[in-house]
Structure 1
């Protein structure tokens, strides 16, 4: 009946042994039970789900039966003014040169819903009108990272994070508020070990094909004062058509940003682009419900940093970086600085990796978290998911004047 409170119950996500207390104290991630029909969320249920998303960053619904139409409508509900277009656009992958091109298949009846995964998929309930078999390919670090694991290590179950990112075109369109990810078919028993291969010795046990998440709030909280001051004053500028621009470059072994070897595509060789479609965003995005600041930068696509000077009345110390402001355009300098700010938050104790079961639905706050796929699949191994995100009707909001005074 209208007006009744939703009968939703919540419980924490299952944190792995060794998870930092910071993740638990932030209450990152929540499991929700009690939704009557996930394809027809009531108004009161949605109000609570929306609050949970912005409060916890990740909302999981185990064992629900979802349709592409229901997924699209649930995703659209978080941004009713959005035009309903997939986050990368109706084409999404300019001239097939984008690094995203091999990984996505649009569901014909709901093009904003994408089929992703691995292997030959011949179940029509999954392919939803796509040609059968639909052959999918799970992205591999072997083609994206500068270095690759040995065949011997791979056989032992060693793997890597693929690419830490937010779901956003970072050109022409605004970053989606939420991504919904629905698991249909996947292995559920195999375990692998993510190895960071960056000299730290860091490793993380993960399920094969697990999706790893980190909190942008914690990414900011972990920064020392001098880097908090920098973050609250900084905007990042993305390259035009960043997924094409980065296509000839290679990633760091952690999947967190790119190596700087000068191999990015020149602007002259990119698909047609315009200056007014280039995206410049604050390094920190403000949570509309909690007011927290989230460090939200897609490290692979950043081209430069624009740093404001300290606010009036702010006093520089010996530790203050760029107190008079700066525009950093040296790509290696930009990437190294950004990496130093983001790397602490992807340390094993701050990562939650979801171990998927069939019919799990995950909603994640795309303006408050970063995520990456994990694992390496053989061509015959099957993995199938529906993913949906919608280009937003507005741009993310950065720190306000009070935030700048507090942290600068």
Structure 2
């Protein structure tokens, strides 16, 4: 789930992409044996459910109907007691089912470049996001060595992990403290390219290998002294609906009627900049790549999204914003009010901090503790998430992630 800059590969360089029609052939079924059990939290978190009784390698139409309804209502689903590892083809099938109008089956960040070629095998992707040739929309995330004989990956292949030293403003956590369990939220976001390609409706993550060791302590690094104990390698999540609810009434009215323009090739644009220590914004230091130095881009592919997105099943509204990619704001306090355009990046980021920071508090965060062979599915248009650091001595974190470009851009 880490965003990274990618160069575009040529069509000839790409592995065969299996389309929705080739993968999804749901059998008929009268009912599902699935059970939905809400996750009980001890803090302010109010989303998430566990699913039992559905084998994701063999789910049927009734199973998917249950899954889809549960996901829109709970926003995060954790599939327990899977009899075997979810295959990449079935992971893609599950993800694809949420958007039957999407015909290309494209990866949410566009074409992958060639990562390596040896012994007649070509691997696509990036060092921190290699693709699985069998199903190229499924990528490996995490850090460390993949299991032996893992698809087409050569022996000893390692996935590059995150390092907040490479991305966050100093002061950084000293290495010796990190090895003792001090951690950071790396980047608060929802998945999407922020340019041209519609963001996925859902994200899907399979835990193949998880780090083994005591809980880590996440430090906010913002001068407040706030910390949170979490499982190593956990994925931290926040509900956009709660982020909206926590705003004061005046600010809530503004975000309900306002829009964000994201930078062209946003992740390339921010690749030379630095994040705030909390991982929710880019610090304004004039370090972004100038627009005329970016890969070719066009105005018609700029993404301008409402700040608030609506759940099509429940009608619930969520504040869904990507603070680091924000480039310009169009602010209105009412449907018919006068629109104010904010173009100064420092002002843009100050406003983003105002609307994002209230929810970024320990009691509002669910840090999901991954267990091997479990699968999580989240509604990408209602949750924010961030990966977290953990000591290298805890061993590898190997996850299979699938997200697919949607057939539509989000609307309120």
**Cα distance, 1:156 vs. partner?**
3.2
1:324 equivalent in structure 2: 338
| Pairing partner for 2:129 from 74, 92, 104 | 104
Q: What does residue 97 of structure 1 align with?
A: none
Contact 1:138 1:377 in 2 (8 A): no
**What whole-Å deviation, never above 9, does each CA across 1:139-197 have from its counterpart, x for those lacking one?**
11111101211234324311110001111011110000000000000124331000101
- Provide the rounded CA distance (Å) in 1 between the counterparts of 2:198 and 2:222: 33
In the alignment, what sits opposite 2:372? 358
Match of 1:115 among 113, 129, 140: 140
Matched, 1:46 2:67: no
Q: Alpha carbon RMSD of aligned pairs, Å? A: 1.9
1:367 to 370, 374, 381: 381
The question of 1:12 aligning with 2:50 is answered no
Q: Which runs of 5+ in 2 are unaligned?
A: 1-26, 115-124
C-alpha displacement of 1:53:
0.8
For 1:185 and 1:42, the matched residues in 2 are separated by 27
For the residue of structure 1 that corresponds to 2:66, the secondary structure is: helix
- Judged with a 3 Å threshold, the aligned counterparts in structure 2 of structure 1 residues 101 and 343 are, in CA distance, closer, same or farther, namely farther
What's the offset of the Cα at 1:296?
0.7
Which residue number in structure 2 is paired with residue 316 of structure 1? none
Please state if 1:157 is matched with 2:164. Answer: no
Tell me if structure 1 keeps the 8 A contact 2:178–2:391: no
Asked if 1:237 is matched to 2:256, the reply is no
Output the TM-score relative to the length of structure 1: 0.87
Deviations 1:26-55 (A, max 9, x none): xx00000011x3123211110110011111
Offset at residue 92 of structure 1 (A): 7.4
Deviating beyond 6 angstroms after TM superposition, the runs of 4 or more aligned structure 1 residues are none
CA distance in 1, matches of 2:62, 2:325: 38
Contact 2:328/2:343 (<8 A) preserved = yes
CA distance in 2, matches of 1:14, 1:123: 37
Aligned counterparts of 1:220 and 1:153: Cα–Cα separation in 2: 35
Partner of 2:49: 30
Q: Is 2:89 the partner of 1:75?
A: no
2:148, 2:321 → 1: CA distance?
Answer: 37
Between 77-86 and 130-139, report the one with greater CA deviation.
Answer: 130-139
Aligned mate of 2:316, from 276, 289, 292: 292
Structure 1 position 309, deviation (Å): 5.5
Once the two structures are superposed, the pairs formed by residues 130-169 of structure 1 within 5 Å of their partners are 130-147=153-170, 148-169=172-193
Match of 2:210 in 1: 186
CA contact (8 A) 1:213 1:372 kept: yes
Task: Assess, with a 3 A threshold, how the Cα gap between structure 1 residues 280 and 252 changes in structure 2: closer, same or farther.
Answer: same
| Alpha-carbon shift at residue 120 of structure 1 (Å) | 1.9
Report whether the alignment pairs 1:177 with 2:201.
yes
In 2, are the aligned partners of 1:188 and 1:207 still within 8 Å (CA)?
no
Please say if residues 212 and 394 of structure 2, whose CA atoms lie closer than 8 Å, have aligned partners that are also in contact.
Answer: no
SS in 2 for 1:294: strand
Give structure 1 stretches of 5+ with no counterpart: 94-99, 313-322, 399-408
